[in-house]
Amino acid sequence: MDGLELLKKNWKKQEATLPKVSYDEIYKMIWKRSSSIVKWIFIISIFEFVIGVLLNVGLADKEYWNSLEQLDLKEVTIWIYGINYLITLFFVFRFYMNYRRINATSSAKKLMRDIIRTRKTVKSYILYVLISLAIVTLAYVYIIIYHHIQDTQVTDNTPYVFDALDWLKFTGITVIAIGIFLAVIWFFYQLLYGILLRRLKKNYTQLENLDCD
């Protein structure tokens, strides 16, 4: 039993042999714990953004950009990087604002609303990452295949003729591969943010119980 549960137990029983614990003391403990969790969400989002930029910069050597240019993907990739950075910074700003709101929270009901808002923001961010990765990956696969077909010169195109079943198999394999990739990313984010979200949910439940007592 953690410290908060002990305080709640003592507060409910109000036993003469135990110290009296006020509603405000229990609320303050939940508030501090929630504020700390949201702060860590904000910090992790900053680290994630910085690491992403550093990885892109590290990969973006001359050979990398030349290979993208040969596939007609250089301009697309630059746009994707730019848009992704802007959207990610928007979410980082949202995380920061959530942290500021919780720091300024003055009541249990407001703290509960702030917890809900924070959880929704994190879930929206994870959903954006998964959807954008799926779209970008599918677009890259299509462009690479189209570019290969346009640039490949063959005298006998029989081996390159695909019927509906071949295309169905290829599409199925591609979708499965992307699905596995996204599942790995989702699992990573569950480790990165999921634990913090579950703790916030626990705090919310405790606030509900506290408010009903």
In a domain, 1, yes or no: no
In a domain, 3, yes or no: no
Encoded tokens for 91: 């979410």
pLDDT score, position 67: 79
In a domain, 15, yes or no: no
Instruction: Classify burial at 85, counting beta carbons within 10 Å of its beta carbon; exposed 0-12, middle 13-18, buried 19 or more.
Output: middle
pTM for this predicted structure: 0.79
With a CB cutoff of 8 Å and minimum separation 6, the contacts of 91 are 45, 121, 124, 125, 128
Question: pLDDT tens digit string along 36-60?
Answer: 999 999 999 999 999 888 887 776 6
SS (H, E, C) 136-174: HHHHHHHHHHHHHHHHCCCCCCHHHCCCHHHHHHHHHHH
In a domain, 76, yes or no: yes
Instruction: Classify burial at 115, counting beta carbons within 10 Å of its beta carbon; exposed 0-12, middle 13-18, buried 19 or more.
Output: buried
Instruction: Classify burial at 159, counting beta carbons within 10 Å of its beta carbon; exposed 0-12, middle 13-18, buried 19 or more.
Output: exposed
In a domain, 95, yes or no: yes
In a domain, 28, yes or no: yes
Show pLDDT as tens, one digit a residue, over the chain (213 residues). Answer: 566 666 656 555 554 444 445 777 788 888 999 999 999 999 999 999 998 888 877 766 677 778 778 777 888 888 888 999 999 999 999 999 999 999 887 788 888 999 999 999 999 999 999 999 999 888 888 877 777 666 655 444 555 455 556 667 777 888 888 889 899 999 999 888 989 999 999 999 888 887 655
- SS3 category, 111: helix
What total number of domains does the chain contain? 1
In a domain, 88, yes or no: yes
In a domain, 4, yes or no: no
**Residue range(s) defining the domain that contains residue 189:** 21-151+160-212
